[in-house]
Structure 1
């Protein structure tokens, strides 16, 4: 039995004025209450109850200790009550991570609506493409793209995205539409990041993998820059479908080689603690999950 339980039983006995009465308050047997009080006295090396033929009474030390016990137990109840309030009312800081273009292009409007609905919550958003360590990095919720290891915590699927190749309609009208991956070698290729002088693009067709090595005409430092260059008619670029969702929806970019598209990859929200999560986490998930699942950019 824990020290807390011993103190709780002694307090009940002190308030009831008898071992049997204290036991009834806690739903215990009298023998269990006697054993716990005896263990407490043995640990403190002090007699707290004076036993006699008419029952028990508090000793002088017992009177002093009983007052202290009441203060301790009241303090615990107050702390637990305050924690229950935090668990019930969404408040405090919510730490979130998500990929950069997912945040800017899809998530920001949803997050703004959430903040308007829950004014006592503060959201701190960090952009990262890799899988975060929730506990070590102090992250409450992370939006991640791709398969998850078993140790990622709790996960809620919200959709899927896939790699796409796209170009401006004007560029395709001037240079033609590639019908197979090999046709890309005759086109202007735009890539993002430091991929070197040669970039390898992988495709899948009728269950078989295919790849083509391309020499980029333009290399941009960011995916956003590559998408922007493609929308200006400078060539073809390859990105994830959600990253160019706005340009594709508006017609500034057009998909090509859709018969060779690689399979979609899952998009998920991961978090810690499950049903025991704080109210700010639970309210956030309840708010954003249906909105993300309904977003056309996450339908693969």
Structure 2
């Protein structure tokens, strides 16, 4: 096995924490995978992986070398693709991350479309409700919802979403519509921890009024917040795309849209040196087409209008 394949094998074993799984992915035998990593370690004069009968873990040296390997393999793959010119087609592995619900609803369909269109392409899609570092975790493209803080990344805005209040018709029938924003204090509130980092909800274009919340229920996923609201457990604050299907189905209505804060941008972000990647370009173009005619702000139907706060 040549050095390039040894590097690919090492990265696969490190990512999967398993020689057997890496071998299966690379279509080689577990023995060949083990020999490839051993040969790489011998040439470097240091152990990259710590092996036991139950686990495979990176050594400190291996963790540092892994990131350099990722970067090198990306550059080599892009160089090979660039030699084919404008007619190059996506191939190899594209690594994407996105928030859980947004990824399930919008990014997975894009990925499925690309996989059908490009047989040589493989995609690793990680859905997680936290911001990941692209370089550290080997990510090609990340979906970020909210203002961007890392100016070193290239960003393309593809959509907007809103923070909205939602409740079920049954809950509103039993408890009544809150007359204004301060009246939320008299209601059962459901907090989605990922967007409620502080114990307050802000409204209006300037973030006023702001109310301190004491939720009856705190959950760590949007799906759980939506399910609890649909079940009549209270008023939830979520992002509009998370509730858009439930609103369309009539199982939730949005409240006090007139007091909503400004929309939140949705960006695709990637490192500047990935702009020329055929895989990244294909994903970005597919995303442009997907989001071009899509409204994720869920502005209707809404609850009965109450007095302005």
Which TM-score tier does this pair reach, normalised by the shorter chain? Answer: 0.5 to 0.7
3-state DSSP class of the match of 1:134?
Answer: coil
Work out the CA distance in 2 between the residues paired with 1:126 and 1:218. Answer: 27
2:292 is matched with which residue? 293
1:250 is matched with which residue? 249
1:84 is matched with which residue? 83
Question: 1:85: Cα distance to partner?
Answer: 3.1
Structure 2 regions of 5+ residues with no counterpart? Answer: 1-77, 300-309
CA contact (8 A) 1:163 1:239 kept: yes
3-state DSSP class of the match of 1:297?
Answer: coil
Structure 1 outlier segments of 4+, above 6 Å: 79-82
Tell me the alpha carbon deviations over residues 267-293 of structure 1, each in whole angstroms, 9 at most, x when there is no partner: 111123468522111111111222123
Work out the CA distance in 1 between the residues paired with 2:122 and 2:253. Answer: 38
CA contact (8 A) 2:158 2:287 kept: no
2:239 is matched with which residue? 240
Tell me the alpha carbon deviations over residues 136-166 of structure 1, each in whole angstroms, 9 at most, x when there is no partner: 3211111111222353422111011111100
2:184 is matched with which residue? 184
3-state DSSP class of the match of 1:137?
Answer: coil
Work out the CA distance in 2 between the residues paired with 1:100 and 1:80. Answer: 32
Higher gyration radius (CA): 1
Question: 1:238: Cα distance to partner?
Answer: 0.6
1:122 is matched with which residue? 122
CA contact (8 A) 1:158 1:298 kept: no
TM-score with structure 2 length normalisation?
Answer: 0.63
Structure 1 regions of 5+ residues with no counterpart? Answer: 1-78
1:172 is matched with which residue? 172
2:282 is matched with which residue? 283
CA contact (8 A) 2:129 2:194 kept: no
Tell me the alpha carbon deviations over residues 220-262 of structure 1, each in whole angstroms, 9 at most, x when there is no partner: 3432211101011121101111121221222111000111101
Q: CA RMSD in A?
A: 2.9
